[in-house]
């Protein structure tokens, strides 16, 4: 009867490297989720604050006679809030993509040093679009709401 030889022993260094990579992999994923949570929270808070600021601005401009009945805050003043939302969304997107690059590098190392023969599968690109939409939806909706109000109430 033929004896089956044991597979090559895995060195302790490779096992430790694998553990460190898995820990980094999990940390990157957790960090990305926290950035998404905080990004949405900050953008919702800013959107609310900007809405109250615009209401106050409208009331002051109306009381001072700068706006007449039926007029809206001028575009140049309205767009300042939208631009601010866009800048904050860009900052969170940039931070998230930095974490995503770290995640991809760690994943590539895990695949290269796959001592446990784990099937990692392919990663789709659709997550990038969801991430972009997640943060940039706030300035987009802000602008679309202003356009809707202008079109809806100006042509009645």
Cα–Cα distance, 128 to 112 (Å, whole number)? 24
Give the Cα-Cα-Cα angle 71, 75, 80 (nearest 5 degrees).
130
Whether this prediction's pTM lies above 0.95 is answered by: no
pLDDT per position as a tens digit, 31-65? 999 999 999 999 999 999 999 999 999 999 999 99
Q: Terminal CA-to-CA distance of the chain, rounded, Å?
A: 93
Strands (E), the chain: none
Q: Give the CB-side neighbour count of residue 85, counting CA atoms within 13 A.
A: 26
pLDDT, averaged across the chain:
89
pLDDT per position as a tens digit, 9-37? 678 888 888 899 999 999 999 999 999 99
Burial label, 147 (beta-carbon count in 10 A; 0-12, 13-18, 19+): exposed
Helix or strand (DSSP H, E) at 121: none
* DSSP state string for 55-82: HHHHHHHHHHTSS-TT----HHHHHHHH
Q: What share of the chain is helix, strand, coil (3-state, %, to 5)?
A: 75, 0, 25
Q: What is the CA radius of gyration of the chain?
A: 26
The first and second tokens of residue 73, run together, are 């805050």
Percent of the chain residues topping a pLDDT of 90: 65
Q: What is the DSSP letter of 5?
A: P
pLDDT band at 142 (very low <50, low <70, confident <90, very high): very high
């Amino acid at each position: 009867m033929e004896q089956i030889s044991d597979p090559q022993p895995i060195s302790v260094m490779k096992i430790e490297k694998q553990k460190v990579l898995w820990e980094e992999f999990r940390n990157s994923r957790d960090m990305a989720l926290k950035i998404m949570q905080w990004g949405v929270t900050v953008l919702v808070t800013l959107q609310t604050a900007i809405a109250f600021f615009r209401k106050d601005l409208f009331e002051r401009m109306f009381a001072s006679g700068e706006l007449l009945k039926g007029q809206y805050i001028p575009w140049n003043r309205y767009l300042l809030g939208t631009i601010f939302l866009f800048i904050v969304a860009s900052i969170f997107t940039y931070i998230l993509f930095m974490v995503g690059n770290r995640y991809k590098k760690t994943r590539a190392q895990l695949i290269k040093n796959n001592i446990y023969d784990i099937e990692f599968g392919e990663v789709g690109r659709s997550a990038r679009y969801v991430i972009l939409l997640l943060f940039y939806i706030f300035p987009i909706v802000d602008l679309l709401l202003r356009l809707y109000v202008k079109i809806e109430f100006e042509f009645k």
